[in-house]
Structure 1
Amino acid sequence: MTEPATRTRSVVVEREIAWPPEKIWRALTQPHLMEEWLMKNDFSPAVGHQFQLRGDWGGILDCEVLAVEPNRTLSYTWNHAHDDPAFNLESVVTFTLTPTPAGTHLRVEQAGFRPDQRQAFGGAMAGWPLFLDKLEEAVAGAD
């Protein structure tokens, strides 16, 4: 049996962070802190809020908040339009925070990569660990 061509893949990165969920939540939801670890943005943690992430590389991602459960779950679309339809990306990023004795278990999933999006998938596989390194730095420096 063959799998349908529309099947998508996900990138999942998990990390233990030595800070409580409340502190990580601030870095995930406050625009000035998001800029430190992710990209420039006009984010607001409200379901339905449409915002943009603006990369230093000149790219713009159009996003919409899908779910907000303070200190637990944050989910939003992560869409990039491109002149070449093969490079259009329509995905969903979900952050899940689980308290642990040592701090927080953070799980990040970016879902929706089509089979023909090997470059975007590879970029996300390489990029999310780097973003999370910067997130940890932003959390450590935040009051």
Structure 2
Amino acid sequence: MTEASTQTRSVVVEREISYPAEKIWRALTQPYLIEEWLMKNDFKPVVDHRFSLNADWGSVNCQVTAIEQDRRLSYTWAAYGLESVVTWTLIPTSTGTRLRMEQSGFRPDQEQAYHGARDGWPKFFDALEKVLASIE
């Protein structure tokens, strides 16, 4: 196996959001809120918890790998042969929070999944911002 065939790519979306990290954290970890901006789910903010995200196109099998309250959330994201990891990082700023999402693990032969994630995550971020505007 050559070095090139084992290299993977990541999709990164980073946004400055004018809400405190605690509020964004709620939208990232409360199942009824996750459903509003991402997909139906049975998420629990507990390391090793297995959960699924369900959409009309199918489902994603996930497992929580890391949690730092209001700072970092990481989980595996497995669907249709894609074995990836989604990591959310929340960095407080003077005007709110810098929210960074990285989905890593796209193999060179997973062009469709990579482009789907690259196109999809900014839309999820838009939906997330709408949810944040609607909660107290």
TM-score w.r.t. structure 2 length? 0.97
Q: Give the number of equivalent residue pairs.
A: 135
Structure 2 equivalent of residue 85 of structure 1:
none
Structure 1 equivalent of residue 87 of structure 2:
94
CA–CA separation in structure 2 for the residues paired with 1:20 and 1:123: 29
Structure 1 equivalent of residue 27 of structure 2:
27
Percent identity of the aligned residues? 64
Structure 2 equivalent of residue 69 of structure 1:
68
- Divergent runs of 4+, >2 A: none
Task: Please tell me whether residue 113 in structure 1 is matched to residue 112 in structure 2.
Answer: no
Task: Please tell me whether residue 15 in structure 1 is matched to residue 15 in structure 2.
Answer: yes
Aligned-pair Cα RMSD in Å: 0.9
Confirm or deny: 8 A CA contact 1:67 1:75 kept in the other structure: yes
What SS does the aligned partner of 2:6 have?
A: coil
Structure 2 equivalent of residue 126 of structure 1:
119
Structure 1 equivalent of residue 59 of structure 2:
60
CA–CA separation in structure 2 for the residues paired with 1:24 and 1:65: 18
How far apart are residue 55 of structure 1 and its match? 1.1
TM-score w.r.t. structure 1 length? 0.92
Which amino acid counterpart does residue 71 of structure 1 have in structure 2? D
User: Which ranges of structure 2 fall in alignment gaps of 5 or more residues?
Assistant: none
How far apart are residue 52 of structure 1 and its match? 0.3
Which amino acid counterpart does residue 54 of structure 1 have in structure 2? N
